[in-house]
Structure 1
Amino acid sequence: MSKTINSFPEVLTIAGTDSGGGAGIMADLKTFQARHVFGTAVVVAVTAQNTLDVQASKLMPQSLINAQFAAIAEDFQIRACKTGMLGNSNRVRAVVQNLKKYNFGPIIVDPVMIAKGGTALLSEEAIVTVKRELLPLATLITPNIPEAEKLTGQHIENKVDFQKTARILQNLGAQNVLIKGGHQNSDTVSDYVLLANQTHFWLTKPRTHTNCTHGTGDTISACITAELAHGADLATAIRCGKNYVTATIEHPIQVGHGHGPLNHWAAQKEGLAYEKI
């Protein structure tokens, strides 16, 4: 069966679901839609969660993970993809094997480890597997501070620590690094970017004091994935991701009773032009 040439950008998220709608695959698909790309998904895990915490989760059989990858590869022309919650070592390895098998373009690795409510989403053994097997495939890795510290064994407190940790992540195999600074206690949020050519820069925005930050990591990595699918260079895609996630936080919606979700249509609602996000 011959494939038609599709001009509309198609992207893929490889992650877990969030029944509360704020994070994981749900946040990714909302972001993809907002950024004008067609989103597909490989479900690695299903969670029962809301804005308060994760109550239960179940990992998909590896055979079903493989089948989802095959189905996507058969019918879609994926221009960029991202990973999220992967659960355990066996699932990480299944994802790695499929990413080696199929060409889905740039790979954005969001090394999801802990839910906003504190529940662990990646086993200790799986963290080692991510370091050894997934990071070398990463076009870009987007850890927050605790995730970057866990992956490298470094403590991040100041700008020098950010830079040192980013270099270690590159030495582990990731081509490009974005360390998100949202966990710092400051009136601004500064993220550090180290590119493969050793160009580096900071992205700093005023902090919005709100509890509506559920899904920020998923959202920024999904936006970067979408922009790469549109043909943007990586530095531009990262800047767009930072601007977009900032807009989703600055214009909150009140949903749930815990760590509320982002406002994924904030850019359109506030009249922010697509090309300027």
Structure 2
Amino acid sequence: MKKAFIGVSMTALTLLSFNTLANSCEGFGPQTPRDIDQLHGENKRVFSLAPPASEMNLCNIHFHKNAEHKAKDFSVFAGNGKYGGYQCNATSSLTEAELRAPKGKVCKNVKPGDTIEVHWVHSSCDVTPGKGLGSCLSNECANPDLRVETQVFLVVNDEDALDFNDLSYDGNIVNGYHQAKYIPQTTGKPVEFLGSTTGPSYNDKQCSPLQVTWSVRPACAKVDINSLAQWCEDNVFEEDHAHGVRQLVTDPKLLAPIK
């Protein structure tokens, strides 16, 4: 199975398809996404937490339309469809100015007032950031530790909100590791847990076999839609749209305990 990973070309880590391998969830390790306020989990598969992101290489950045995870600050249910998931609670209190439509389409399917969940994917391999999961692996490193740093954003038309370009990569290297220029540090202590890859290819009957350490910040932040539009037009990850979501995993047998 490891050899099969090497040739995979992906648009996002969470869209990796193992349809021929994952016909049921029996025997699979802990799954993602989850309600990060619910600590209980009964999955018996255990693996070590990945190193801190600062000691790994950033290999991919992508985002999903609506939050895949759920927390007190993003708990408005957005439905069961491909772009279901959860919205930031503050969505209903946005101003008319924040909701003003920008010129043209943004990332094909994003508008002011939308919620997005951003994934900064890190690998223990000696790799360079790029497109999809293929950038997190190499011929010499087929089974890396993976860590996903996660932040949920409320998209607004406001130049005073966070600039998405400041959250990107742009060749930033710190202590020899490829790193994002900035990941929000003011949205609460990240909730760390063991899980899997996500995305609409998976559900409670078809689980992901990959082992991932997750670090999910519990509060929403606002990001300027104009900067997001600029990023989608030109980034090393070749990301130009918001991806779909995997519905929330609630079966305790598919969740790791949060300690």
Alignment TM-score, normalising by the size of structure 2: 0.23
Query: RCO higher in 1 or 2 (8 Å CA, sep ≥ 6)?
Result: 2
Q: Which has the higher helix share?
A: 1
